[in-house]
Structure formats: C-alpha cells, structure tokens
Amino acid sequence: MTNNFDEELREFALITSAHGVRYIFHGHRIVVKVIFFLFWISAVLFCIVRASVSVRKYMEEKTTTLYEMHPASASAIMDFPTITACNYNKIRKSYLATKPELKDWFQGISLFDFDQLENLNWESPELKKFENITYADLLREGEMYNDTFITCTQGHLRYCHDTDMGDGYFSRDVEFVSGSCFRINPKGNLKGKSGDYGVLSLILIADKDEYIDTSHNIGWLVATHEAERYGASIDNGIKISPGQAYYINLDTMIIHNHKKHCAATEGKISGYGRYDQSTCLLDCRDRMLNKTCGCLNSTPPLNDVFNYKECTIKQVATCSLKAYYQYVLDFADVKSDYEECGCDVVACEYTLFRTTVTATPLPDTEIEHKLKAWNSPRHFDRFQRFSNYTAEDLAKNMARIEFFFGSSSITKVEEIISYDFDNLLGDIGGVMGLFLGASIFTTMEFCTLVVNLLSRLWQWKIQPWLRSETRDRKIISETNL
C-alpha cells in the first residue's frame, strides 16, 4: 500500500507543471529535497494568506467612481432641465390686507412665535370664520401674480409657448416652506442646442410693492432639476436678486450608482417625484406631521398614493407648525436624518444639472427698452400692471436669467466595484503562478492525483477491510446458529 502511494506521488512529481515538486521526490541529494520542500511549503502558505486577503477584499465590495466625458457635436440636441422659481414673498400684501383678522396669525406663523399663536382666540367671530380654510388654499389665493413671470423665450427669438413646451410651458406648485412657485418646462419637453442658439431667457418681476416684509430677502430662489422631481425636493438653489442679469451655464451629469447602494430604491414611492434622499426626507417629514396632527401644511404634488389631508390654518397654529419645528430640531444632524428616516440609500440613476453662475447689473439701455416696449399698444394690456413703473422701479424689481449649455458634452459618473471577480481571479492566479507555477491545468493535475490516491486507498485498504468485516460477521452469525 505504501509503495503504491509512493509510486503515485513520484509519478505525479515527474509530470506536474507545478514548480519544485519534481526536486522534492527526485532530487539527487537529501539537502536538495529538504530545501525544495521547505521553499514549496512556504510558498503554499504564502499563497493561502494572499488568497484569503484577496477574498476578504472582494467580499467587502468597495466601490470607486469612474468619470467619463462624452463629447458631442455643437448641433447636438440637449434636454433642458425643469426650472423652479420661488418668490421669497409667499403671500401678497394686498391679499392679506383684505383679511386683517389674520394679521396676528400670519405674524406668528412667519416668526414661529408659538406664544402668540397660542393666544389666538379661535372662538372669536373674527377668526372662527377662517378656521376651516387650509393653509395651502391661503397660499394659492394669496400667491404672487402670474404676471410676475414676465417673459419666457428661447434663442432670443421664440416665445416659450411656440417651443416644444407649448402653452403649458409653466405651472404653479404650492409647498408650505417655499410658497407658490413657478415650474417652467414642467414636463421636460424643451430641447435646445449648446451656445446662444438654445438659450432659455426668463424675465421675472419681484413686485416689491406686494412684499409684506422688505427687510429680508427680495427676489427668487431658482433651481434646475429633472422633470420627474419637484421643486420642493431641491436641496438648494440660486439666489436671484432684482436689478441683475444672470447667465447660468448648464452642465449635464448623469449619475449611475452601484446596485449595492441603491437596490432598495426600486419600487419606492415618493410624493415628490423620483426617489432620492431629498424626496425621502420630505416623505419622512410628511409621515411625521400626519401622524402627529392628522394633516399636512401642504400636500405633496403626487398625493394620490397617500391621500393626505391639508391642515386648516387653525391646525397649523395649534399643531402642525410646532410639529414641523420640532422635526427640524430633532433631525438637524443630516446623518441622523438619513438614519431615522431610512434615507441612507441613494438613487440608482439620476441626472444633475450643474450650474456656473455669472451676474452683471442690468444695463440702463435694457431697462429703458423694456419700459418703452411694455407701454406700447402691442403689449400694454399684458403689462398694464407695471405701466406706471419708472426706470428706477423696474431696476429694483426686474431680473433677467439666461440658461444655456456652454458645451454639448455630457459627463457620466458611474460607481463601480473597485475590486471585482476579475481582480480576484487575477491576483490569486498571479500569486500562485509566480510562487508555485500553478495554473488551471495544475489544478486539474492535483485533482487527478487526489482521485488516484483515493482509488488506491479504496482498492488496497478500505475494500479489504469491508470484506474482512463482512466475513467475520458471517462467521459469528453461523456460530450462534
């Protein structure tokens, strides 16, 4: 039996492609055999350690980010983002003047003065008649006029209603934090080209006479985003001040996150459009407010899934505003926000429109030209509300914003596994090949050796033992009989 095993191993040592095995069994001197044996065992142990490190690294699934620039011709068609523009003044002064009974309520809401709100007497006839009006309806009724969005043109030639957007080139969205906002290119239909040919030009009027408080921000907050998302979900925007011309260079960036980080987003439903961490946080806020007060200050744009109710102004004063304030305090830490709300998972794929902003004062000649045009018989009916503006008034209220693609190139950002199966196979194969001369064929040779040794073990050891056991049992059985 020993000779059979020895013969099998010696034969294997002669034919194997593994380095050094032949010298272990067929070395001319014992010193050579010992040296090669020690080196071979050390190499095997080193390969095992390196392989375990590589496997552990592979199991960690760490990722890296790959940036790719995809250039296109200057005439390439580009998809314009949806643009949300929110006036800092949420309710018109003239509207609130028609409801003087709500002055203390509005002041308390604006300043988060809960003591003042608690002192309101909702049983008084002045307030009781308003107690069933929702805060969102108040924002809709008192929103800044549509004519504060003066003009929208593309390429300085076509009005927006003559573009791919059609007559529905803008809509209004109401959200209790930002108020009633203009949503331009709401369906994402607008196409354009890079440079001045596809520029989207907007003219906005602050309408300062309607501001309740002019000691704070005057102007707009403007953000660019995908049409599948809503302005309320935008983390930040560009602050637009009157009297300035803004030139906003758009750069399209398509983000692909690895499925390891975003698999949980599949099938997630948000009231604020396509899932991302911002919409997730807003959904979390809404769930909290609805659980606490049974209503929301304003319902999400896609409320069909949730069927939330809007809070009345009484509920806002007595419950939902304080609940929202507490929510902000509790989750001021962004990391805590994500953990508590389950918003630690990023979106799988989304598009960012990075912006580079340049601003210059509006030229006096442009202001004079606008005044002359708006007071002409052709445009007087449309701009009648601003016909009494002087050049100074217009300079304090008007802003021009031009969005354009400085380049037709698109940046693709892809999150990939930094150490994948190919890397694992290459590292293990490289170490084993360098130290042992091993390959796939060497593995097959070792498998053949193991099969042959087991076959000989079965044939010369196990099988005779089984036969002996069977024979002994038979003899004992016959003796007992």
Domain boundaries, the chain: 68-416
Please write the tens of the pLDDT for every residue from 436-476.
Answer: 777 777 777 778 777 777 777 777 666 676 667 666 666 66
| Nearest-angstrom CA–CA distance, 359 and 89 | 22
Name the average pLDDT for the chain: 83
Quote the percentage of the chain above a pLDDT of 90.
Answer: 23
In this structure, which topology does domain 68-416 adopt according to CATH? Acid-sensing ion channels like fold (2.60.470)
| Nearest-angstrom CA–CA distance, 94 and 210 | 6
pTM: 0.79
Which uninterrupted H or E stretch holds 221?
strand 220-225
Q: Are β-strands 170-175 and 179-184 bridged in parallel, bridged antiparallel, or unpaired?
A: antiparallel
Asked whether residue 370 carries a pLDDT value surpassing 90, the answer given is no
Cβ within 8 Å of residue 340, ≥6 positions away: 284, 330, 331
Q: Do the Cβ atoms of 298 and 354 come closer than 8 Å?
A: no
| Nearest-angstrom CA–CA distance, 241 and 83 | 17
Asked whether residue 265 carries a pLDDT value surpassing 70, the answer given is no
Please write the tens of the pLDDT for every residue from 355-364.
Answer: 999 999 999 9
Q: Are β-strands 63-70 and 158-159 bridged in parallel, bridged antiparallel, or unpaired?
A: unpaired
pLDDT for the residue 336: 58
CA distances from 285 to 84, 110, 114, 269, 330 (A): 21, 19, 20, 15, 11
Could you give the 3-state DSSP secondary structure of residue 302? Answer: coil
Q: Do the Cβ atoms of 238 and 222 come closer than 8 Å?
A: yes
Asked whether residue 233 carries a pLDDT value surpassing 70, the answer given is no
Res. 284 pLDDT band, cuts 50 70 90: confident
- Nearest CA-CA partner of 111 in 206, 215, 222: 215
pLDDT for the residue 335: 58
